[in-house]
């Protein structure tokens, strides 16, 4: 893990990105591959033992370092001050809170991955494609009877394909589109095309007001799908 972190840190430095706060790392038993926590004076990187053994640990670290860099830069997607404004200004049904939270986390992921893609995607982007294709494949088996839970999964599909669109790694004829649209059809709504477009076209450096407007647009997309 230490060697992978140092390799990622070196690659980021070559691209002009250097963390200002120290980072500590922990290998932990968690159900997800990894996570990070940022405080005013330090970052903590949490990596699951499964991730360490997967061969994908460098990609995970690159992604989490992307979050750390966005936090240090005060990007609206990683700003506590903006979060407070979001809570006041973005209106969603109570039943949608978990699904919208999932969709919002993917907004943060998009901005972290804008920095991380050049580090982990590979020269031809194949590593990134395979990773995100796995999201769409896995979600197909997770469909439930709860409409909002399914919309949360649709947001994950939109994020996965939208990320590939954003970085020019998927064509309109790719079979992933068919799988994601089939998920929507079987769940009884149509959302993935609008969600892909949303994630793919998020502005790179929005102002706080622009960022909140984007989240209102995301809430509208999901709310519309929930009622049609």
- Of 25, 19, 28, 27, residue with least CA distance to 66: 19
Query: What pLDDT, on the 0 to 100 scale, is given for residue 73?
Result: 97
Question: pTM (2 decimals)?
Answer: 0.94
The rounded Cα 168 to chain-centroid distance in angstroms is 17
Query: What pLDDT, on the 0 to 100 scale, is given for residue 125?
Result: 86
Q: Are 228 and 190 in contact (CB under 8 A)?
A: yes
Taking the chain (228 residues) in runs of 10, the rounded mean pLDDT of each run is 93 96 92 91 93 84 97 97 95 93 97 94 84 90 91 97 96 96 95 98 97 97 90
Q: Please name every residue paired with 26 in a beta bridge, in sequence order, or none if there are none.
A: 46
Q: What three-state secondary structure class fits 23?
A: strand
**Domains recognised in the chain with CATH numbers:** 2-73 (3.30.2010), 77-227 (no CATH)
Distance CA 44, CA 151 (A): 31
Rg over alpha carbons for the chain, rounded to the nearest Å, is 17
């Amino acid at each position: 893990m230490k060697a992978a972190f140092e390799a990622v840190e070196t690659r980021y430095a070559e691209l002009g990105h250097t963390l200002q706060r120290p980072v500590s790392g922990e290998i932990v038993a968690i159900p997800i591959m990894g996570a990070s926590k940022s405080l005013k004076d330090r970052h903590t990187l949490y990596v699951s033992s499964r991730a360490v053994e997967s061969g994908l640990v460098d990609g995970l670290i690159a992604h989490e370092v992307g979050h750390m860099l966005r936090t240090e830069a005060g990007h609206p997607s990683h700003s506590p001050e903006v979060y407070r404004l979001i809570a006041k200004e973005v209106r969603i049904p109570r039943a949608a809170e978990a699904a919208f939270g999932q969709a919002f986390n993917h907004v943060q992921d998009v901005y972290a991955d804008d920095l991380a893609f050049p580090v982990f995607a590979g020269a031809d982007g194949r590593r990134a494609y395979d990773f995100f294709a796995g999201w769409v494949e896995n979600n197909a088996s997770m469909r439930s009877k709860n409409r909002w839970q399914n919309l949360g999964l649709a947001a994950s599909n939109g994020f996965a394909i939208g990320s590939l669109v954003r970085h020019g790694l998927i064509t309109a004829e790719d079979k992933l589109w068919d799988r994601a649209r089939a998920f929507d059809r079987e769940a009884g709504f149509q959302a993935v095309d609008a969600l892909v477009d949303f994630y793919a076209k998020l502005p790179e450096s929005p102002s706080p007001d622009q960022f909140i407007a984007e989240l209102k647009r995301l809430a509208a997309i999901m709310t519309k799908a929930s009622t049609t």
